[in-house]
Every structure is written in C-alpha cells, then in structure tokens.
Structure 1
Amino acid sequence: MPVLLAALVLVPAESASASLASMHCTQHTLPVRLSETGAASYSMWGELCYRGPRQPRTVQLLVHGAGYNHVYFDIPYGNGYYSYVRAATLVGYATFNVDRIGTGRSSHPVSPLVNIAGGSVALHDAITALRSGAVSGTGFGKVIWVGHSYGSIYGWKEISTYHDVDAFINTAALHVFNQPHLNANIFPNFYGASSDPAFAGLGLDPGYLTSKPDMRHLMYYVPETSDAGALAADEANKDVVSYTQLTDLAAIVALPPASALTQGVTVPTLILNGQADPMHCSAVAEDCTSSEVVQQFESQYYPPQAQLRTVLIPKTGHNTVTSTTSPYSTAVMLAWSLSVAAPY
C-alpha cells in the first residue's frame, strides 16, 4: 500500500516502534445517557485497540454511519486492506470503535429515542469515559473524532455542543444532498428491519429500518471502485437506522450556513469525501469538481477555528473505507491526524 507508506514516514519514533507490535484489543460496555438529565441506563459497546506495551496518548473515536455498525471501520475481508483500525494502530493511535445507540451490541431503545440529540449525549459520555480512564484504567489526553456519514453528522452535533475533542475527521458528510439519488436509490431501498431475516427475531419496533437485500451497491458505491468481496461483507454485516434519525437529518441539512451545527465546530477539521459520492456529488447537488471547489463551498458552514481542509478521493463513492481506494483515503486521514494530534 504505497500511499499508506507515505503516512508511515511521518510517524514519530515511539509510534514506529509500536507499529511493529501485535494489535491488542479489548471490548467494553459503557453506561450512557440519552439526555442531559437522564440516568445512564443505556449501554454503548466499543472495542479499544492499540499496539505496543504502552497506551497511546491519543485515541481515535470511530463513529459509523446509518445502517452500519463498528464493522465499517474493520471489515472482515481483504486481510486488513479495508481496515481503518489496522492502519490507525499501525501509525501509533489507539482506536475506540463503537456501535452507536440503536445498533450492533449497544442498547436498542424504542426507535423515537434513537435520535441525533440523544445519540450525541451518549457519545459525549463515551468521550468522557475515554478521557477519565473509565474505559481502560488510563485516561487519554487527546481524542480525534472519525465519523462516517451519519457518524460525521453526529460529530456536527456533539462537537458543537460539548467541545470535548481535539480534532474532527468528517468523511462522507457534506451539507447538500443529491435529492434524485435519495429518491431513486436510498428511500425506496429501506424497509422495516423486522421484515429482514437478519433482524426479524430482535423484537425491534416498526421505526427501525434497514436496507433491502443486495441494494447497498446502488446506495453507497460506484462500480469503478467496488470490490465484490467487500460488498458481500458489507451486506453480511449491515445494521439498522431509526426513522427518527432520517427526519432529524432532513432538519439539520435544511439549516442555512449561518445557523449550521458545524458553526460550533472549533477544532481542526478534515473533510474527506468520495469525488463520485452519489449521496452528495452531482450537477443538482454539491459541485465536486475539485477539493478546492468543495472546500470553498463548505467553508461557509464552518468557523475559521476549524482550519478546514478538504480532500476528494477520485472515482470513489460514499463509503471511502470499503471502496478499493481505501488505502488512499486512510493515508490522507492518518497523515492529517499526525499533523494535528500525534499518538504520543
């Protein structure tokens, strides 16, 4: 992976030594709240990974998108080619790869409670646990939020509310959506999760949705950078999204630039997006002609303190980590991370 090597040459000596060690992972279940005044009666599952004998100073919190779970960042296919967890720990970071509330091994409350406000409180509790030492016994000094799609949009809300992270990697989340793609390939391909064999026995209420079988290639990928094996792994590990989250999203993206949630993001921010992302990029949505064009447009939604940097990944769709260009995306994300918050 030549592009990943470009990031590796920037790694500090201690991180380089750690990268030679095997990866150590532990699973944790954290008590979290869904409101500021509520009890921590829900649970968020996460996996903490790092290499070497000493815990790094900086952890990357990995927050997946809608219809996904933690597997997005560590897909079981390709011998690590598609694993962001593997790459990030190789350059010396710890990763805490979570299942958001309403997904995976975390709590599944009634679907109206699975929303942007409550989910942000829960993720704030997870960050607090990482910093306090409640996760591993030793607190982390710095936290980098790494979001994918809706996981980035959760970052818009959480970071602007709590200001508790040191940097933000925003992937697959721009401020304009491609409505024709949503109408043709997204909305028609969601259905009740209880109708899907993967979730039929979980007792989920009708407000939980999932993608119809074998439709994710149309929803999130482009043919030029799709891998049949990665698509199969994506399908096999798909998850759910609440209807409430979709309605929340519509309200969030309708906000004008001056009122955008991201106006409260005051830490260094990297926007990374597929240049052919069908969710955002089109003649009737956001102009993805170049990184500079997207940067100029998106900058109206962020304050100067975000020190915004934008990178588009050529010939790539919505899912940058699980497309064949994954090493390129990962190298950009990690090189930028090293420039703003080193592992040690």
Structure 2
Amino acid sequence: MYAQSALAIVLLARSATAKVCMNMTVPVDISARTGVFNIAVPQTNLDATTFIQNQTQQGRNFTEFALLDYATTSGRYNISTQFCMPSAGNATNPTIQILTHGIGFDKTYWDLPYDNCNYSYVDVATDAYNYYTLSYDRLGIGNSSHGEPLNEIQSFLEVAALAELTMMLRKSIFPGVTQKFGKITHVGHSFGSAQTYSLVNMYPDISDGIVLTGFSMNGSFVGFFGAGGDFIQANLNQPFRFGKVDTATVLAVLNMFSLTDLVAGVNAAPGLDYPNGYLTNSNINANQYLFFLPGFFNPCILLASEQTKQPVTVGELLTLGSLPAMNAYAGPVLVITGSNDLPYCGGDCLATGDPAIASIPATVAKNFPMVSPSNFTAYIQPNSGHGINFHYNATGAYAVINSFLNSKGLMSI
C-alpha cells in the first residue's frame, strides 16, 4: 500500500541568479486518529456523483451520518518535497516557509513554471524576500505515497505528516538540508490552510507565524464547490496521468469526455496510479468555476491548470471540515482570500450582511482568541477567485504575504 522509502535529491537552478532548489522524497513515520466510515468507496462516476449529492444536501451532515467509529492509522509514508533557498542565501539566521497546497493541486501550485515563472510564489519569497521554502505534495497526492482513499488518506493523517516535516526542520534533521532555521512559518492554501489551522491548534508552539490563503471559517458555501466541480473518478478523467491505460479505459473516456481529457498528461511521467475513490473535477469549465475569476486571468493558465490538476480522496472530503471552533495558537495570523472566492465566500467576500463586519474572512479573528488584534490581519485580494496564484495580480498577493511576515519580525537575518 505504501511506496518504498527512498531519498532522491535533484538540484534545480533556473539561472545563476535564481533560487536553488532540491527535490527530495522524505520518509515519515506518522500516526493519527482517522475516521472509519460505513460507506462504500465510489467505483464508478455515477457513484462519485451520488457521493457528492449526499455531501451537498442541505440540513444533513453526511460525515456524521457515515461515521462508524475511529481508528489509529500508522505507517511509514514517503512525502515528495521541494526545498528552495535564495540565490544569495547568506542569512545567518534564516526563516523557512512551509507551503501546503489545497485540493486540486500539488506542490507546483507554489512554483508554477508557466509564463517564465511569473506565477511563482516561491520565486518571490526566496529572491525578493530572502526566505527559504519547503513545498510538498500532501500525503496521498502527486508523488507522495498514495493510499486507501476512504479510511486512510484523511485530513488528520496529513496534518501528522506536516507536523513531522516541521519537526525535522526544527531539529535540523531534515534529509539533505544543512541549514538551521531560526524561525519556521506556515503558509497554506484552502484545504492546506485548514490543515495549517489544525496543525497550530494541536501544536501551538510549532509555528512562528501562519498565513491562511483562500480561507475563512464560514462553511456555508463549501457545497457550491462540491456541486460545481462535478467530481468524477480521476483515473477515468485523465487516464494517462491518473490511471492504468487500457482499451476499456480509453473507450470509456472517449464515450464520456473530449479528446482533451483523454490525452491530458500523455507525456507525463508514469506512476500516478490512483485507485477508485480519488476524484477530480470533470473538465476545464468546472476548473474555472472552482478557482478562477473571469476577466482576471490568462486563459492559457486555465488550460495549464486543467492539464496539471490533482485529485482529492473521498476521505479528505469527509474530513475537510473537522476544524476546532476555537484555536489555541497565539502567534501572528494573516488570512488572505480572493475577493470572489467560491468555497469560503460564496463568490463575494465583502457580502457579510452586516456593515460592521469588513469581510467574511475577517470573522476568523474570533476563532483565534489567544491572538492579539495587532497580530491578526484579514486581507481581501482584489479581482481574484479561490486560486489566488492563478490571477494576473498574483504577485500583489505574494507581496502582502511576505510583507506581513516581515512586519512580525519573521524575516531571515
């Protein structure tokens, strides 16, 4: 079930003046309490639709309905990481940002190669602000270990992996990394923000500062995300990337989708063999609805997003809302969300219904009772949907994030 443990280091440098990165596969031994759900793993696309219908029915908590018991899941898993350092990495007391992607993406969300890397958060954090970064494929996704999609690959097992990566850096035992870090911060997107939120509640001293992008604590609109994605089996949607390609699969895809779906990832490296129960949004139209604000993105990056998208497990979907109402963390918190974010703002983050409330993300302040008002900031990124990094003004959001961390004394020195 688990991939073989290995450490593979590849040095990457785009130019003599660009950041320097290492790709590493890091084994982690982790354990977490996971839910035992008394439902069948979806086996067909119709099963996947039924699952989403159950999840999005108003007045019904399908997670609570399907939950049978809890169990402890333990194992050794491989996590695919990218560690990057500034081209002028001469800080004596550097700070590292740990970057956690959301649903639909892998670690490349933070370092998009599209358009000469003008959409790379990592480029800005490293060479404009002198931070080190660690991005990674969340457990179950991309080149990290995959697993059983219902009762294994769930939110809190992934949080355990994030905690272990963080402690390796704290203890200076991260494979292949010789730097010692004075401060460690965490930046998440969407589901990655939810995992960052859970991480610092479970371990309040693990992070010196957190940034929650594409986030609020308002779950009223998450059903829009589930329904709008038209989620189906990933291995049928893009069989060359996500499944085992055989005649039956090709015929099935031809009958259901366009040629674009069939050939997506035909040149991708093999190995992303996802079993049934790993779901993905159905097509480029759904991708736009979930993550993009029309008129404020390059259509070519939407196509690139569709060709590089990643799935989500049914276990993740059942546990993504398992967040404590009150968080024990007391450090600096920035919440930055696109003005027209779908799942956390219903498409309009300023439509609060109360003139005394500046924005929906601003209400997250009450969930951090230990954080002083001076250490909490909610910022609405204009002209952006849920996938902030994909919009024309993404670099503006990058500046807000890194300037916030700098203002809290978290810069590398």
Residue 343 (1) aligns with residue 343 (2) = no
Task: Note closer, same or farther for the CA distance 1:23–1:183 as it changes in structure 2 (3 Å cut).
Answer: closer
1:327 counterpart SS class: helix
Q: Residue in 2 aligned with 1:155?
A: 196
Retained in 1: the 8 A contact 2:349–2:359? Answer: no
Q: Residue in 1 aligned with 2:366?
A: 300
1:223 counterpart SS class: coil
Map of 1:52-131 to 2, 5 A cutoff?
Answer: 52-54=88-90, 57-90=94-127, 91-111=129-149, 112-131=151-170
CA distance in 2, matches of 1:35, 1:224: 44
Using CA pairs below 8 Å that are at least 6 residues apart, which structure has the higher relative contact order? 1
Retained in 2: the 8 A contact 1:295–1:309? Answer: no
CA distance in 1, matches of 2:18, 2:166: 25
Retained in 1: the 8 A contact 2:340–2:348? Answer: no
Task: Note closer, same or farther for the CA distance 1:244–1:54 as it changes in structure 2 (3 Å cut).
Answer: same
CA distance in 2, matches of 1:208, 1:264: 33
Map of 1:211-222 to 2, 5 A cutoff?
Answer: 211-214=281-284, 215-222=286-293
Task: Note closer, same or farther for the CA distance 1:119–1:281 as it changes in structure 2 (3 Å cut).
Answer: same
Residue 173 (1) aligns with residue 173 (2) = no
Structure 1 residue 119, shift from structure 2 partner: 0.6
CA distance in 1, matches of 2:321, 2:73: 26
Residue 48 (1) aligns with residue 83 (2) = yes
Q: Residue in 1 aligned with 2:261?
A: none
CA distance in 1, matches of 2:347, 2:111: 33
Task: Note closer, same or farther for the CA distance 1:92–1:296 as it changes in structure 2 (3 Å cut).
Answer: closer
Structure 1 residue 184, shift from structure 2 partner: 4.1
Which shows bigger deviation, 204-213 or 42-51? Answer: 204-213
Retained in 1: the 8 A contact 2:97–2:187? Answer: yes
Equivalenced residue count is 316
Task: Note closer, same or farther for the CA distance 1:34–1:326 as it changes in structure 2 (3 Å cut).
Answer: same
Q: Deviations over 1:287-327 (max 9, x none)?
A: 36998333552222222426220000112100111111201
Letter in 2 for 1:22: A
Task: Note closer, same or farther for the CA distance 1:124–1:183 as it changes in structure 2 (3 Å cut).
Answer: closer
Task: Note closer, same or farther for the CA distance 1:286–1:245 as it changes in structure 2 (3 Å cut).
Answer: farther
Letter in 2 for 1:335: S
Q: Equivalent of 2:225, from 182, 193, 205?
A: 182
Retained in 2: the 8 A contact 1:295–1:308? Answer: no
CA distance in 1, matches of 2:200, 2:223: 30
Task: Note closer, same or farther for the CA distance 1:241–1:138 as it changes in structure 2 (3 Å cut).
Answer: same
Structure 1 residue 38, shift from structure 2 partner: 6.8
CA distance in 2, matches of 1:38, 1:249: 17
Retained in 2: the 8 A contact 1:281–1:288? Answer: no
Task: Note closer, same or farther for the CA distance 1:183–1:342 as it changes in structure 2 (3 Å cut).
Answer: closer
Structure 1 residue 81, shift from structure 2 partner: 1.6
Q: Residue in 1 aligned with 2:318?
A: 247
CA distance in 2, matches of 1:226, 1:169: 23
Letter in 2 for 1:167: G
Task: Note closer, same or farther for the CA distance 1:217–1:304 as it changes in structure 2 (3 Å cut).
Answer: same
Structure 1 residue 200, shift from structure 2 partner: 1.2
Letter in 2 for 1:192: Q
Map of 1:312-323 to 2, 5 A cutoff?
Answer: 312-323=380-391
Structure 1 residue 21, shift from structure 2 partner: 4.0
Structure 1 residue 211, shift from structure 2 partner: 1.7
Q: Residue in 1 aligned with 2:232?
A: 191
CA distance in 2, matches of 1:124, 1:54: 27
Letter in 2 for 1:117: F
Retained in 1: the 8 A contact 2:337–2:361? Answer: no
Structure 1 residue 219, shift from structure 2 partner: 1.3
Map of 1:272-283 to 2, 5 A cutoff?
Answer: 272-282=336-346
CA distance in 1, matches of 2:389, 2:348: 26
Q: Deviations over 1:30-63 (max 9, x none)?
A: 2213415876511111111112243661001010
CA distance in 2, matches of 1:313, 1:89: 21
CA distance in 2, matches of 1:128, 1:287: 40
1:133 counterpart SS class: coil
Unaligned runs of 5+ in 2: 1-15, 33-71, 245-271
2:83 counterpart SS class: strand
Structure showing the higher helix proportion among its residues: 1
Unaligned runs of 5+ in 1: 1-19, 253-258
CA distance in 1, matches of 2:362, 2:336: 14
CA distance in 1, matches of 2:180, 2:399: 27
Task: Note closer, same or farther for the CA distance 1:154–1:144 as it changes in structure 2 (3 Å cut).
Answer: same
CA distance in 1, matches of 2:352, 2:78: 39
Residue 233 (1) aligns with residue 233 (2) = no
TM-score, normalised on structure 1? Answer: 0.85
CA distance in 2, matches of 1:179, 1:336: 28
User: Which has the greater radius of gyration?
Assistant: 2
Structure 1 residue 195, shift from structure 2 partner: 1.1
CA distance in 2, matches of 1:31, 1:330: 30
TM-score, normalised on structure 2? Answer: 0.71
CA distance in 2, matches of 1:314, 1:170: 16
